Amino acid sequence: MLVQIARRCGRPVGSIITRSRLAVALALSLSLCGLVASTDASELRRSAIVRAVQGAAPSVVNINGEKVLSPGDAGFTHTNSENRVNGMGTGVIIDDRGYIITNFHVVDGVEQIKVTLANRETMLAKVVSNDPSTDLAIIKIDSREPLPVLKIGTSKDLMAGETVIAVGNAFGYEHTVTVGIISALHRSVQVGDAQKYEDLIQTDASINPGNSGGPLLNIDGDLIGINVAVRVGAQGIGFAIPIDTALEVAADLLSTRRVDHTWHGVVTTSAEDVDDRAVVVAGFDDESPAARSGLKVGDRIQSIAGRRVERPCDLERAMLGHRPGDEIEIDVVRASEETTVKLVLAGVPESMRAPTGDPFWEVLGVRLKTIPSKQFQRHGTRYRGGLAITAVRPDGPAARQGIRRGDVLVGMHVWETISLENVSYILNRPDFAKFEPVKFYILRGNETLYGSLSVSRR
């Protein structure tokens, strides 16, 4: 039987918040929203669910933005046939510097990503990196104060029947709380022809449009999943990506090689014991800083540059913001004894970088391939032709705008892009800076999408 599924666009808090003026604003705001009980509430009313929500709410953000859809024959200039769609979703703060995890489909194609904190402050976010195959993305906001980080749990020990809590921007109602149980584990869900999710958590906690990217919590208030989809036409059937899976992807999306272009070379694995969260050194990249640092296979990493490390994602977070040449202190346990190792970061070597000589790869972050005329006609549009996008550089301008492998580039600014020479002409125009960020048009399936692209001149 076919099942129709629709994607919906949509460390403990205390030590960070109490030292910050942000705590006062968050507490006042959450109290006004009804997420923090008044001080005279009885202890009987402060159930485990209430405490879990109060602990998590400051780390949950609401995401809004506008994406533009236009029909395939709209042409390359502004028209009245544009279809502007307001998208909404949710995100979870995973680093106090403003890094947020959410679903890729929440920010895919959004021109301006607006993030609203629990204290009602709204700011613009940028896409750091994304992985369409797992429907996860990392975005970042710049806050004047350290932000509260949600307490991370594990999905290794989940049990069918245990209580779970979803918090999200349901139908645009910010910080909506719903409660249910885990209905099943290890579900596979097909979403259309292009997306299939594996190993999902199924829950009957209400997950609605706008909940995507938000947290699924256990009764202790730990983050155990990222809400992602609901079954159309059914009640009480929603799905979430297990947090262990999400953090494995996040470790790659936040890797220093991808974000900062620095290289450490540590190859890690997570400890198997659920009660003993640790990152274990499994090996090193050849000729890497890690190989020269004094680290040994089997070392259990405790902290990096003063930041506690419990997962591979924590390792990458701890090294973010540093530059080649920076010396990083790594505290490890080796043969039951604590020791400190110093690692000097390096730049990513040429052998690990993308091949040079392709201006489209360097400037736009894509590889382009000409599509034969007869093959292009299968798209059934009035465009005369286009260029197939065969690869997208993870840290490039195109990736940050949600352009995917398999999209077809049909226009930039007011010019069509039938051949590689068309793109070269646009990028090499002496007045190119006047219309940057440049508007781009792509075909994705039966839709024409467009956005603005700030090109890279690295």
| Catalytic residue numbers, as ranges | 105, 135, 212
Question: If you search the block for the tokens 């076919």, which residue do you land on?
Answer: 2
- Cα(331)–Cα(340) distance, rounded to whole angstroms? 4
**270 token code pair:** 């997570």
- Cα(201)–Cα(305) distance, rounded to whole angstroms? 35
- Cα(447)–Cα(194) distance, rounded to whole angstroms? 14
Q: Look up residue 142 and give its DSSP letter.
A: -
Q: Is 446 exposed, middle or buried (0-12, 13-18, 19+ CB in 10 A)?
A: exposed
Chain length of the chain: 458
Question: If you search the block for the tokens 């972050």, which residue do you land on?
Answer: 365
Q: Which residues pair with 125 in a beta bridge?
A: 113
Q: Is 330 exposed, middle or buried (0-12, 13-18, 19+ CB in 10 A)?
A: buried
Question: If you search the block for the tokens 């024409």, which residue do you land on?
Answer: 448
Q: Is-contact 274 259, C-beta < 8 A?
A: no
Q: Is-contact 399 130, C-beta < 8 A?
A: yes
- Cα(125)–Cα(194) distance, rounded to whole angstroms? 27
- Cα(393)–Cα(405) distance, rounded to whole angstroms? 10
- Nearest in space to 55 (alpha carbons), one of 149, 146, 121: 149
